[in-house]
Structure formats: C-alpha cells, structure tokens
Amino acid sequence: MAEKPPVDIRGTLLTVISERQPKGPSDGFLQSASVLPETLRRLGVTRNIDMEQALLSQLHDLFRTGYLAWGANITNPSPPFFHVTESGRRLQSQLTRDPGNPVGYKAHLYSGATINAVARSYIEEGIECYVAGLYKATAVMVGASAESLILELRDTLISKLNSLAQKLPKDLDDWRIKRALDSIHAFLSTNKNSLPSEL
C-alpha cells in the first residue's frame, strides 16, 4: 500500500500568506482572522480541534523563528495584523525548496536523489532542527548525513575494487572521514577519464 502523503499544514499556510500578502498600499493587511480560515478551507478541514491547534502551532512557529512579525504598521501594531519579515520573504521566494517548508523541501530533495536510510534520518532530523530555529544542530545533522553518504560511496568503491582484484588507494579504508574523502577524491580525479560520464 502506498504511503499516504503528509498533510502539509505549514506549506498550505505559507502559500495562503504569500497569496494574501499586500502587493501595494491599497491591498489591505495580513490578518490571522482571514489567513487561518482560508488555510483550513484549503486543507479540507471543518471543525477538527486537533487540526485547528496544529495550524495555530505552525503559525506560532513562523512567528517564533522570525518569518512573521505582529503588526502591519504603526497604526496597526498588534494582532490580528501581521507582516512577513525579510527572512519570511526569502522563504517565500523558494517555497518549494526551502527547509523552512519541510514537505516541499523533502519533495524537492528526494526527487533528485535516493539516499540511504541513515543519511535520510539525519537529513529529516536536521530539517526539524532548522524549523525549530536550531541552526547549529541543523549543521551537525547535515554533516552526519554527508558522512553517511561518503561512507556508502567509499564502501561501494572498495567492494568494486576488491571484485576487480585491484589494490585499494591509500587511506580509502581509513576510519577517519577526512582521509577517506580525500582518498575518494584523489581516486576519482585520477580515473575520471576511464569512468562513465554520468558519474
């Protein structure tokens, strides 16, 4: 059975905000009282307290991490009015590829690459860290994911060289990731003309 796609509350909310964001002075202001009901309508939700609270949590996270701020101007500085910050505008400019929109980011990432389960788990936790505003933790998770992919490439290369009875390059099987990566790079650079072009 195919896995049911996740309900993209955050992505839907960001889309509604982007569409309703004022383009000029006569366009009015963003208000939670209009954005939230429209988001629920697009999600196909009616009278479901769990979904309503999940939507409120996503809205709160967008404020907490600096994508949104309360107030439209000095005359309307408080809720229900709000505006999109500079960080929020950057997120909106690449909504389907920004980690601030996890469902869109993962769809974009996985459409271009298949990664192993370990690397995927680190990436997914890294995205959660990013959404929570834990950017150093995000960097650690992305680094761990990259290391997993490097080790997978290294193991595949070792297996292939062993099957061809070829000597392993120096440091290819070293436990230190930097040495293994340097060895992979040197081997691939030296042999690039004999490798298939797609590699």
Output the domain CATH number for residue 17. Answer: 1.10.10.10
Query: Which of 112, 137, 158 represents a domain boundary (last residue)?
Result: 112
pLDDT at 104: 86
The encoded tokens of residue 103 equal 């469902």
Per-residue model confidence (pLDDT) at position 194: 82
Domain total in the chain: 2
Q: Containing domain of residue 197, as a range?
A: 114-199
Amino acid 5: pLDDT:
54
Same domain, 88 and 125: no
Q: What integer pLDDT is reported at residue 23 of this predicted model?
A: 85
For the entire predicted model, the pTM comes to 0.74
Return averaged pLDDT per consecutive 10 residues of the chain, 199 residues in all: 66 94 84 95 91 94 93 92 93 87 88 91 94 93 95 92 91 91 91 76
Choosing from 87, 112, 137, the residue where a domain stops is 112
Give a yes or no: residue 1 inside a domain. no
Domain boundary at 59, 81, 112, which? 112
